[in-house]
Structures are given as structure tokens and as C-alpha cells.
Amino acid sequence: MARLILVIDDERVGRLVTQTILEKLGFEVEVLDDGRGAADADARMQFDAIIMDCQMPHMDGFEATEELRRRQAADGAARTPIIGLSARAMRGDEEAALAHGMDAYITKPVNSSKVRHALETVLGGAAALP
């Protein structure tokens, strides 16, 4: 059974690129275009990881991550690894993502190498990939 990743990105092209990379790596992918649905999606389905854009309208990735972590803690649910995704590559951006509860951070534009490395980091090495 393929592993399942949730991709949340408000940019259609960004979602498609990330989804394509993940599918080529052997993952099944669900997509959302807004952070507001992240916690609900995580409660409904067992994701192996979430790749979440940090800057989105309505509810950004930081707020969505904090809400998801609160729900997981309240429900006693397992902590789903979250990989932050952003076009920002300034000093301190990765640290901010980790401080908000994300487990790893990659910058746009995404590529297969960045996605693979981040997934290996949060899932426990290359053996954890499909």
C-alpha cells in the first residue's frame, strides 16, 4: 500500500509540481488549497506526512500547523510530520517554521531532491520511502 501525503498550497502550479514529484516517488497524494482544512483532513485520514505552504491567505501554514498540533494533542493522536514549504529563504525562516510546530522546511521552487531529503528526514531515512 502506498504511503499518503497531504499537500497544502494555495498556488495551483505549486500544488501540481509537488504532487507530481511525490507521485513519481511512489506516494499517494491528497491536495488542499488552504490551511483551513488541514486539521479536519488530518482527523479524517491517516497521512504519513503533510507538506504545507507557509504563506497562504485565510489561514497560513503556521496557523494551520498550530491548530493541527492542538487537535492532535487534545485527541491524543499521533503527531503527523509537517514539512513547511516557502518561497522565503531568509535567515530565520526555517527556525520560525520549526517554532510553529513544523518538523522540516524546504524552499521553493521545489524539486525531487529537496522533497526526498525532507521526507527522509521526517519519515526516518530512505528505507521509509515507498
pLDDT of the residue at 2: 67
Its pTM stands at: 0.93
pLDDT tens by residue, the chain, 130 residues: 569 999 999 999 999 999 999 999 999 999 999 998 888 898 899 999 999 999 988 889 999 999 999 999 999 999 999 999 998 777 878 999 999 999 999 999 999 999 999 999 999 887 678 7
pLDDT of the residue at 102: 97
pLDDT of the residue at 112: 96
Residue spans of the domains in the chain: they are 4-128
DSSP 1-51: ---EEEEE-SSHHHHHHHHHHHHHTT-EEEEESSGGGHHHHHHHS--SEEE
Does domain 4-128 fall under CATH 3.40.50.2300? My reply is: yes
Q: What is the largest CA-CA distance in the chain?
A: 39
